[in-house]
């Protein structure tokens, strides 16, 4: 079974033909998946645009290295405006009290 949010991954005739040839059933999620999963969709879009579309992976080890470098930059070095200018790692390691006090500011 193939599960999709009706995104671009299932608009290809080649994918649809493969699905038919393999006898796979497609299950399409309810509409507005982007609205319900905005943070994940935003991350996926950045990952696709900034990493996957920018590199030609010559093998699994190269892909792992390049993706890990991107992930480290995204989480440890790059401040996010949605987190008040903190990196995700810095935001996640704040004290529980700090999370509670500043939650309304973010």
User: Which whole-number Å values give the CA distances from 106 to 12, 13, 41, 42, 103, in the listed order?
Assistant: 39, 43, 19, 17, 6
- Domain ranges for the chain, please list them: 1-32, 37-95
Residue 9 is predicted with a pLDDT of 55
Instruction: Note the pLDDT of residue 62.
Output: 95
Q: pLDDT, tens digit, for every residue of 28-63?
A: 665 555 555 666 778 888 999 999 999 999 999 999
Model's pTM, two decimal places?
0.57
Compute the C-alpha angle 52/44/91, nearest 5°.
115
């Amino acid at each position: 079974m193939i599960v999709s949010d009706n995104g671009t991954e299932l608009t290809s005739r080649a994918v649809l033909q493969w699905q038919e040839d393999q006898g796979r059933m497609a299950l399409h999620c309810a509409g507005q998946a982007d609205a319900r999963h905005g943070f994940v969709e935003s991350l996926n879009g950045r990952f696709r645009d900034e990493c996957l579309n920018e590199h030609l992976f010559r093998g699994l080890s190269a892909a792992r290295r390049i993706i890990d470098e991107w992930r480290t930059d995204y989480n440890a070095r790059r401040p996010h405006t949605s987190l008040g200018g903190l990196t995700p790692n810095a935001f996640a390691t704040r004290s529980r009290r700090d999370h509670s006090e500043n939650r309304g500011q973010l």
